């Protein structure tokens, strides 16, 4: 409300100094009233708006402006003008009634207009890509929320306001997502369940923004809940190309043993994205084929490539599941290789990234991976040279008991139905031995450097 008053005050001063400096407030008031009585509300507002700052006639001018604005449906101006009139006479019953009428329902109206504007601005955008940006931003906020209170008081207050505003922008991401899901899900009961979950997640994000604004210690916990919600819905919404990109990010971080994000292991995130990919891929592939038939500019997507991707995804899930269960995952690098192979087999659709487009966020993720790979090659060289000897030494000092344990494990798994898994394990072990012998080559093959996390 203070912002609106400042706007009206600036406009009033500009108008007053522009043409009414030589006239008395009474003369200006009489002119405005004449216009008002004649039904010329446009000129009445032009004359009376600057007069609201007058000490002698400001309250009366504000009362008329509020009445005109209310009749025209401009509740914002009506509320601001009614507030000026009330401040001049706080005990006046009529001024109180006018102000109450002006502000009644104004907050809800503002919220409705805001939601409509947010949804309109998001039209044509991929919900998955929007969610991915929200995931990264929520992780950045989570990191910053954990330490901003350690600053000096004035600095902490400034950071609190800035973090709160960023969190409020994250609240807006849920509006178009809720709209998109409500339109895409035909089952009303299922749609209602999902919408209810989105509203709960949105409430948590709002709570995080408020806690940050109030400088509460609970802000970190609230931001943690918001990050979990954004990540969970990203796994549900992401189309196959985007899911593969995020899968590769998570799998690379797992391979490089990057610190867990918000209490979740990267390997589990990678497995979740793989399962999301497998669940959506058949329908997505059929939809892409239909679009390719109607649009000859789209690259083809052969049945052979689709079958190969399905087989690779099945193999990938088995590997990632094993990596989640074993304390020393044996095939994380192979999982990265499979993900890169899947990405190469997916059609490179450059026709656009609107909502529902198969390649929506995938191409952007691929470009990001390429940029990160260039940075990695420069940074990993030094790390490889510094740590090569130490890593090789550690492998040479592996106790015989470990080798025996590995042999016993192989004997236990030597069952007919597990022959395929055993072959994969042996192959992965051979590859790991090869890469351990050359640390530099091994690190260069990793898609992400250690300091380039996905937030």
> Helices 332-345 and 240-255: crossing angle, nearest 10°?
160
> Helices 153-184 and 106-121: crossing angle, nearest 10°?
70
What confidence category does residue 21 fall into, taking pLDDT thresholds of 50, 70 and 90?
low
Q: Which residues of 50-89 are buried (b: 16+ CB within 10 A; e: fewer)?
A: bbbbbeebbbbbbbbbbbbbbeeebbbbbbbbbbbbbeee
pLDDT, average across residues 223-250: 95
**37 close to 62: Cβ distance less than 8 angstroms:** no
What does the pLDDT look like over 365-404, one tens digit per residue?
444 444 444 444 444 444 444 444 343 334 344 443 434 4
In this prediction, residue 23 carries a pLDDT of: 84
- Specify which residues 261 forms β-bridges with: 264
Distance separating alpha carbons of residues 72 and 140, to the nearest angstrom: 45
In this prediction, residue 359 carries a pLDDT of: 37
In this prediction, residue 428 carries a pLDDT of: 55
Report whether pLDDT(20) > 80: no
pTM: 0.66
Surface-to-core class of residue 337, CB atoms within 10 Å of its CB (0-12 exposed, 13-18 middle, 19+ buried): middle
Question: What secondary structure does DSSP assign to 154-207, as a single string?
Answer: HHHHHHHHHHHHHHHHHHHHHHHHHHHHHHH---HHHHHHHHHHHHHHHHHHHH
What confidence category does residue 427 fall into, taking pLDDT thresholds of 50, 70 and 90?
low
- Residues near 370 by Cβ (< 8 Å), separated by ≥ 6? none
Report whether pLDDT(27) > 80: yes
pLDDT, average across residues 222-237: 94
Q: Which of 135-149, 352-366, 405-419 has the lowest mean pLDDT?
A: 352-366
What confidence category does residue 297 fall into, taking pLDDT thresholds of 50, 70 and 90?
confident
Which residue carries 């504007």 as its tokens?
117
Residue 261: what are its φ and ψ, rounded to 5°? Answer: -95, 120
Surface-to-core class of residue 384, CB atoms within 10 Å of its CB (0-12 exposed, 13-18 middle, 19+ buried): middle
What does the pLDDT look like over 37-78, one tens digit per residue?
999 999 999 999 999 989 899 999 999 999 999 999 898 999
Distance separating alpha carbons of residues 247 and 277, to the nearest angstrom: 9
In this prediction, residue 362 carries a pLDDT of: 37
What does the pLDDT look like over 108-129, one tens digit per residue?
989 999 999 999 999 888 888 9
What confidence category does residue 293 fall into, taking pLDDT thresholds of 50, 70 and 90?
confident
**Distance between start and end Cα atoms, the chain:** 36
In this prediction, residue 422 carries a pLDDT of: 58
Report whether pLDDT(24) > 50: yes
Sequence length of the chain is 455
Q: Please state whether 300 falls in left (phi above 0), alpha (psi between -120 and 50) or beta.
A: beta
Distance separating alpha carbons of residues 339 and 348, to the nearest angstrom: 15
Report whether pLDDT(319) > 80: yes
Percentage of the residues of the chain whose pLDDT score is greater than 70: 72
Average pLDDT, the chain: 79
Report whether pLDDT(193) > 90: no
Both tokens of residue 163? 């973090």
In this prediction, residue 229 carries a pLDDT of: 95
Which residue carries 């990109």 as its tokens?
245
In this prediction, residue 374 carries a pLDDT of: 45
Report whether pLDDT(431) > 80: no
Pick the CATH number of 2-104 from 1.25.40.10, 3.90.1150.10, 1.10.3720.10, 3.40.50.300: 1.25.40.10
In this prediction, residue 425 carries a pLDDT of: 55
What does the pLDDT look like over 175-192, one tens digit per residue?
998 888 777 777 788 888
What confidence category does residue 296 fall into, taking pLDDT thresholds of 50, 70 and 90?
confident
What confidence category does residue 455 fall into, taking pLDDT thresholds of 50, 70 and 90?
very low
Surface-to-core class of residue 397, CB atoms within 10 Å of its CB (0-12 exposed, 13-18 middle, 19+ buried): exposed
Surface-to-core class of residue 314, CB atoms within 10 Å of its CB (0-12 exposed, 13-18 middle, 19+ buried): exposed
- Specify which residues 264 forms β-bridges with: 261
Residue 162: what are its φ and ψ, rounded to 5°? Answer: -65, -45
CA 198 to chain centre: 13
Task: Report which listed range, 390-394, 431-435, 451-455, is most confident.
Answer: 431-435
pLDDT, average across residues 332-342: 94
In this prediction, residue 173 carries a pLDDT of: 93
């Amino acid at each position: 409300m203070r912002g609106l008053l400042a706007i009206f005050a600036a406009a009033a001063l500009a108008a007053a100094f522009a043409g009414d400096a030589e006239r008395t407030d009474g003369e200006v008031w009489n002119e405005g009233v004449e216009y008002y009585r004649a039904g010329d509300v446009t000129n009445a507002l032009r004359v009376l708006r600057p007069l609201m700052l007058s000490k002698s006639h400001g309250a009366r001018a504000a009362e008329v402006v509020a009445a005109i604005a209310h009749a025209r449906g401009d509740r914002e101006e009506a509320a601001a003008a009614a507030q000026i009139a009330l401040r001049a006479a706080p005990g006046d019953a009529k001024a109180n009634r006018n102000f109450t009428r002006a502000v009644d329902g104004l907050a809800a109206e503002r919220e409705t207009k805001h939601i409509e504007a947010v949804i309109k601005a998001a039209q044509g955008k991929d919900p998955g890509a929007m969610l991915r940006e929200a995931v990264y931003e929520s992780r950045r906020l989570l990191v910053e929320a954990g330490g901003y209170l350690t600053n000096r008081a004035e600095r902490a207050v400034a950071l609190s306001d800035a973090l709160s505003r960023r969190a409020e922008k994250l609240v807006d991401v849920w509006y178009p997502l809720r709209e998109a899901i409500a339109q895409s899900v035909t089952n009303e009961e299922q749609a209602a369940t999902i919408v209810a979950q989105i509203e709960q997640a949105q409430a948590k994000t709002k709570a995080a923004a408020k806690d940050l604004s109030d400088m509460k210690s609970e802000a970190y916990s609230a931001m943690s809940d918001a990050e979990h919600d954004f990540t969970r819905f990203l796994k549900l919404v992401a189309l196959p190309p985007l899911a593969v990109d995020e899968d590769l990010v998570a799998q690379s971080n797992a391979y490089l043993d990057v610190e867990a994000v918000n209490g979740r292991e990267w390997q589990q995130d990678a497995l979740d994205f793989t399962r999301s990919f497998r669940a959506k891929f058949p329908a997505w592939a059929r939809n892409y084929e239909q679009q390719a038939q109607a649009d000859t500019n789209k690259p083809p997507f052969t049945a052979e490539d689709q079958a190969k991707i399905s087989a690779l995804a099945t193999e990938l899930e088995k590997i990632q599941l094993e990596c989640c269960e074993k304390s020393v995952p044996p095939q994380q690098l192979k999982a990265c290789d499979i993900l890169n192979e899947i990405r190469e087999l997916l059609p490179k659709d450059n026709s656009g990234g609107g909502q529902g487009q198969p390649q929506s966020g995938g191409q952007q993720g691929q470009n990001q991976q390429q940029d990160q790979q260039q940075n990695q090659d420069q940074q990993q060289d030094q790390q490889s040279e510094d740590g090569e000897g130490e890593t090789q030494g550690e492998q040479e000092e592996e106790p015989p008991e470990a080798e025996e344990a590995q042999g016993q494990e192989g004997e236990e798994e030597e069952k007919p139905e597990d022959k395929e898994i055993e072959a994969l394990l042996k192959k992965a072990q051979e590859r790991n031995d090869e890469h351990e012998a050359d640390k530099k080559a091994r690190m260069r093959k990793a898609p992400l450097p250690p300091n380039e996390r996905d937030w």
